[in-house]
């Protein structure tokens, strides 16, 4: 309950997701291959996960309610790298998991599934 009101909640959830991805990859004996993207126009993606030739954007939101605008940065990145991006992941605190426009919307507890 205290975490839900903490002003650092977004950063804490994002760090949790990064650590879960690193742990999942290292448990597979693989390099995490996680990157960050920001361009001169301040378009950014929280994480880029490289899987072979594919570049998979990941956005992390601390909120429990899905909003379509959360997909904006995933769509931007998908259009930027085109065929190298099969879709991305929106990781959030809500319980409803779904697929929207080739992007998976998942709860942060499912983070390790990204590295599968």
CATH number at residue 97: 3.40.1350
pLDDT in tens, 22-67: 999 999 999 999 999 999 999 999 999 999 999 999 999 999 999 9
Edge-to-edge order in the sheet of strand 54-60: 34-38, 44-51, 54-60, 89-92, 103-107, 98-100
pLDDT at 113: 95
* Domain coverage including residue 76: 2-115
Neighbours of 105 (CB within 10 A): 21
- Residue-wise pLDDT for 74-107, tens only, equals 999 999 999 999 999 999 999 999 999 899 999 9
pTM: 0.91
Q: Kind and range of the H or E element at 37?
A: strand 34-38
Structurally, the chain folds into a number of domains equal to 1
Rounded CA-CA distance 66/90 in Å is: 9
């Amino acid at each position: 309950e205290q975490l839900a009101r903490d002003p650092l909640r977004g950063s804490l959830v994002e760090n949790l997701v990064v650590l879960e991805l690193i742990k999942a990859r290292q448990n597979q004996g693989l390099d995490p291959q996680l990157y960050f993207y920001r361009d001169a126009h301040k378009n950014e993606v929280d994480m880029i996960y490289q899987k072979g030739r594919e570049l998979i954007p990941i956005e992390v939101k601390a909120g429990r309610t899905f909003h379509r605008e959360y997909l904006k940065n995933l769509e931007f990145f998908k259009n930027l790298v085109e065929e190298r991006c099969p879709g991305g992941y929106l990781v959030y605190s809500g319980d409803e998991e779904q697929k929207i426009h080739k992007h998976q919307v998942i709860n942060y507890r499912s983070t390790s599934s990204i590295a599968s």
